Amino acid sequence: MIDARAAALFRQLAILGICLFAASTTQAQLDDSLRDIESSIIKIYTTSAAPDYFTPWRLMNPSQSSGSGSVISGRRILTNAHVVADASYVQVQKHNDAERYQARVEFISHASDLAIIVVDDETFFEDTPALEIGDLPEPNTEVFVFGFPVGGRTLSITKGILSRVEQQVYAHSGEFLLAGQIDAAINPGNSGGPVIVNGKIAGVVMQSGSGGRTEALGYFVPPDIVRHMLTDASNGQYDGFPDLGFRTQDLESPAAKAAYGLNPDQNGVLVIKVFQNSPADGILRENDVVLSIDGYNVAGDSTISLSRSLQTNYKHAIDLKQIGDEVPVQIARQGQVLDLTLTAQRRQASYSLVRGEQFDSLPEYYIYGGILFVPLNMNLIKRWGPDWTRTAPVNLLHARSQWSSPEKREVVVALQVLPADVNLGYHDVRNWIVDSVNGVPVQDFYQFTRQLKNNNEPYVVFRGESGYQMVVNHDQAVSTEAAILNQYRIPSANSDGLFDTQQLAGQP
């Protein structure tokens, strides 16, 4: 009996030993594969100076930051756009190498928060193998995040689980694009580093959970979006993501479905806006119901199924297209099913009266009669700080919810008044939206500035939506311009290129 028990115990110990050996071997192989990737991970140092949209003729103080990247095919480094946004100087450094190399931005897609940087010194790429772009892993897959987070100088590798994939608002651009969510630790400096699965890039780290409402959550740009950017970059010209020029709302109410001609078995979303001069103009109509896009059936909550385990907003089917691609759309119009085709085109400058945030460009402005006029955009609104949704002026925030049209494409703001005799009585005016000039409605900033530049009236009357007016003597405004600029140390009355011949001819 004792011998039998001893034999059984021996067998159990033998099995345990085999399992431990197998586990240690697997772990060793895993460790080796991760070590092979380390030489392809790059630290990025950026010096940037963003424009000051409160005083648009000057830059804010330069700042230094760091991020991460990975070497991909073509001797290129893949990283986030926000790592190199507004960059004036970029350096890169390899893992376990003290030398820094000067780099430059070759292509940048702020919409997808992705960028490609290159190093002209080819010796930099010695012993830095290119990583391959892989596929989006299934939920619950184990992933590894590589990067150089703050708190140390050496490479960091963290492990986590892919917990969710769906459309998210990208913090950098405000775009609503597909993103992966992981529970690996992500901190400042990790941005631009790769998410690795099976030795391939399964995503690019872009942001962590914000607002203190989540713990240990981070987001990455998935492979489909990365490939879209790389295809876009192939000709060196930025096209971005297309837009078909219509907007919808969910259609889940049985009463609403019946009212728009759907039977109980049909599902889709309701078209509530079709923009002029867009791909959908003249093809789709308001109150059409979109049943499918590019072969994906659209549910009443605006989602499509990409796989058995992945549902996301139907916008993703459009995001995957390049400019010029045809997009089949099936709709129901008053109960009749129609198969239509739209051609993906570049997005209009803005479908809202407020343009989205811009990077790597200087702001536009015009000083007339000592009054600083600017176009309203998200750069200006965000200048009120991280809590801009609460601290920015209400009238400027309200404009974000208004659609643009050929009659009114943009909002013009009297941002501040530089006190002088020519503007006496208006020195306290701030953040005031101009509705018309001498009775002519404001269409956009170029039309507004051309009207002032070419004015022949003795007085210029600016009027707001509420009826409030500012009146300026035109001759006095022209004659005192140089003195006002000199008094406030402003180099020019207008931003560079504002009054180019082409723009004055009405071709902005």
**Nearest Cα to 302, choosing from 310, 294, 289, 312?**
312
Q: Which amino acid is at 78?
A: L
- Tell me, what's the pLDDT at 31? 62
CA 161 to chain centre: 25
Amino acid 502: pLDDT = 42
CATH of segment(s) 366-504: 3.20.190.20
Q: Would you please indicate which residues are annotated as catalytic (active-site) residues?
A: 82, 113, 191
Q: Is 174 left (phi over 0), alpha (psi -120 to 50) or beta?
A: left
The CATH code of the domain at 246-343 is 2.30.42.10
Model pLDDT, residue 34: 74
The token pair that represents 11 in the structure block: 């067998």
- How many angstroms separate the CA atoms of 367 and 86, rounded? 25
CATH 2.40.10.120 correct for 37-241: yes
Contacts of 438 (CB under 8 A, 6+ apart): 451, 455, 457, 460, 461
Eight-class DSSP state of 60: P
Cα dihedral 66, 70, 74, 75 in deg (nearest 10): 60
- What are the start and end residues of each CATH 2.30.42.10 domain in the chain? 246-343
- Of the candidates 227, 195, 200, 224, the one whose C-alpha atom is nearest the C-alpha of residue 132 is 200
Residues of the chain with CATH 2.40.10.120: 37-241
Distances, alpha carbon 286 to alpha carbons 45, 107, 273, 280, 352, in Å: 49, 38, 6, 11, 18
Buried b (16+ CB within 10 A) or exposed e, 164-198: ebebbebebbebebbbbbbbbbbbebbbbbbbbbe
pLDDT in tens, the chain (508 residues): 456 666 665 566 555 555 444 444 444 444 666 778 999 999 999 999 999 999 999 999 999 999 999 999 999 999 999 999 999 999 999 998 889 999 999 999 999 999 999 999 989 998 899 999 999 988 889 999 999 988 778 898 999 999 989 899 998 988 999 999 998 777 788 899 999 999 999 999 998 765 444 456 889 999 999 999 999 999 888 988 998 999 999 999 999 999 999 998 999 999 999 998 899 999 999 999 999 999 999 999 999 998 877 889 999 999 999 999 999 999 999 989 999 999 999 887 678 899 888 998 899 999 999 999 999 999 999 999 989 999 999 999 999 989 888 889 999 999 999 999 999 999 999 999 999 999 999 999 999 999 999 999 999 999 999 999 999 999 999 999 999 999 999 999 999 989 874 443 333 3
- Residue 85 tokens read as 């946004």
Please give the single-letter amino acid code of residue 362.
Answer: L
